[in-house]
Structures are given as C-alpha cells and as structure tokens.
C-alpha cells in the first residue's frame, strides 16, 4: 500500500507570494492533518480535515488555510508569505478520526521563503 505523498517536495518563494501544497493520504484514510516543523518551534499542529470538513485548527494566523476534497486529498495554502514561514510542512493521514489517532506522515514539503 502506498504511503502518504506530498507535492512538491521543495519550494522556493519570495515574501508576499502565496503557495499551495498538496497531500495524498494513504488509500482509505479519511483524516488528513497538517503540521509545520521548524528548528525553533518543533512540530506544530496546523489543522485537521475529516470528510472534507475542518475539524480542528491550531494556533496559526488566517494566512494559513486548507481544504480537503471528496477523494480525501488535501491542500494547504499560505498567503502573503513571510520569512518565518520557511519550514518543513508535513501531512499525516489516519484511517478515522478517533482518540487513538494513529497518524502516518508523508515526507514533507520543504518551503523556503526569501
């Protein structure tokens, strides 16, 4: 069974631009979560989607948004990029949204903002 895939793997943008990242979950998984990983802040939860609905959101500004499609694929968008948005963005999928949330991560998208 194929794992979680994320595209693109690397991205370079300049301040003020916007970016869209894509995530394809493991087949059959309906929950997709997004995380930001930086050396200073570690792994931080962005948001989680289940059946095309955002069920949870972390403490990030409104510039960060996402959506999920009917096939469970998900995208996240960051508008008006700032230098501090440079990070590894990780997507994780799980079979269902339960307390025992076994999440499987993709390889991430490395975003560099210049």
Partner 1 sequence: GENVEQHPSTLSVQEGDSAVIKCTYSDSASNYFPWYKQELGKGPQLIIDIRSNVGEKKDQRIAVTLNKTAKHFSLHITETQPEDSAVYFCAAVYDYKLSFGAGTTVTVRA
Only one of the segments 12-20, 39-47, 60-68, 75-83 lies at the binding site for partner 1 (rule: CB under 8 A); that segment is 39-47
Q: According to CB under 8 A, which residues from 42 to 71 bind partner 1?
A: 42-45, 48, 55-56, 58
Rounded distance, CA 14 to CA 82, Å?
Answer: 8
Structure tokens at 84: 């501090």
Contact window for partner 1 (CB under 8 A) among 11-19, 67-75, 79-87, 96-104:
96-104
Maximum CA extent, the chain: 39
Q: Peptide bond before 88: cis, by omega within 30 degrees of 0?
A: no
Residues that bind partner 1 (CB under 8 A): 4, 33, 35, 42-45, 48, 55-56, 58, 90, 92, 97-108
């Amino acid at each position: 069974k194929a794992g979680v895939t994320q595209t693109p793997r690397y991205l370079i943008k300049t301040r003020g631009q916007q970016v869209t990242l894509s995530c394809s979950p493991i087949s059959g998984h309906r929950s997709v979560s997004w995380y930001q990983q930086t050396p200073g802040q570690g792994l931080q939860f962005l948001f989680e989607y289940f059946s095309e609905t955002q069920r949870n959101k972390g403490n990030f500004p409104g510039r960060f948004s996402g959506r999920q499609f009917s096939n469970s694929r998900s995208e996240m968008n960051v508008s008006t990029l700032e230098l501090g948005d440079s990070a590894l963005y990780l997507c994780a999928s799980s079979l269902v949204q339960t307390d025992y949330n076994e999440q499987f991560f993709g390889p991430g998208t490395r975003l560099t903002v210049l």
